[in-house]
Amino acid sequence: MPHAERPPNWEGPWRPGQTREAPDLRAVYGTDGHIRLTGRDRWGHAIDTTFESPRYFTEAIPALARSLTDPQAMRLRQLGYLLAEPELPPQSP
């Protein structure tokens, strides 16, 4: 089976030290592993919150999505996917 090509706008994995944008949102992945999200929600209210780790960020996305526009929520889900690491198979003894 041929290898699928990545789309031309492929960003690659989201790594510590990088910033990613969403409509009216900015997400900064800190070098210490935290993620800071700033911007505005669907009603124009300020968002300024920090998540301890990528896991806390991805687990908060469903709750965050309720106060965001559809494009914002879709982008955060995409960022959560870009943070995801493949599971490693169990090591044999």
Specify the number of domains making up the chain. Answer: 1
CB of 25 within 8 A of CB of 38?
yes
**pLDDT, tens digit, 9 for 90 and up, residues 9-55:** 556 788 888 899 989 999 999 988 899 999 999 999 999 999 999 99
Tokens of 60: 């908060």
Beta bridge partners of 39: 25, 47
**pLDDT, tens digit, 9 for 90 and up, residues 54-70:** 999 999 999 999 999 99
List the 35-40 sheet strands across, edge first. 19-22, 25-29, 35-40, 46-51
8 occurs within a structural domain: no
pLDDT of residue 14: 83
3 vs 41, higher pLDDT:
41
49 occurs within a structural domain: yes
Residue numbers of the domain that contains 56? 19-83
77 occurs within a structural domain: yes
**Reported pTM:** 0.76
